Amino acid sequence: MTLDITIDPRDIKIMPATELEEIAQNVQMIITTLKTTVPMDRDFGINSARVDDPIATAQAKLSAEIATAIRTQEPRARLSKVFYSGSPHDGQLIITARIEIVEKNLRGYV
């Protein structure tokens, strides 16, 4: 199963209804959280140093960092592709992460 997750912090649900919603929300939290901002887990999230990089450089570095963060912090998901949209002239970068669900890590499939 494949899910596309467009990063929008307004979509956070306190209690996801399904395990798939939980996985999608976890991936969204990983991508929208900056490293060093979570007490007791300073490695959670992605590095904010990419903010001032040129767009092409930022996209390449972010893609690698997002893949690593998802692999280590949400083992039920595997990143298959990252899409970027937005206006480089406005400094806006919208991230959409395409993930595949790793079924062997889902509850009931172990």
Using a cut of 0.85, tell me whether the model's pTM lies above it: no
63 belongs to a structural domain: yes
Rounded CA separation 41/50 (Å):
20
Question: Both ends of the chain: CA-CA distance in Å?
Answer: 16
Q: Backbone dihedral region of 84: left (phi > 0), alpha (psi from -120 to 50 degrees) or beta?
A: beta
pLDDT by residue, tens only, the chain of 110 residues? 787 887 666 667 778 888 988 999 999 999 889 999 999 999 999 888 877 788 888 889 999 999 999 999 999 999 999 998 887 677 677 889 999 998 776 776 54
Domain count for the chain: 1
CATH number at residue 15: 3.10.450.40
Rounded CA separation 52/43 (Å):
21
What is the four-CA torsion angle of 21, 13, 92, 80, rounded to 10 degrees? -10
Q: Is the dihedral of CA 71, 77, 81, 83 positive or negative?
A: negative
Amino acid at 61: K
110 belongs to a structural domain: no
Q: Note down the domain range covering 26.
A: 2-105
Nearest CA among 24, 17, 14 for reference residue 98: 24
15 belongs to a structural domain: yes
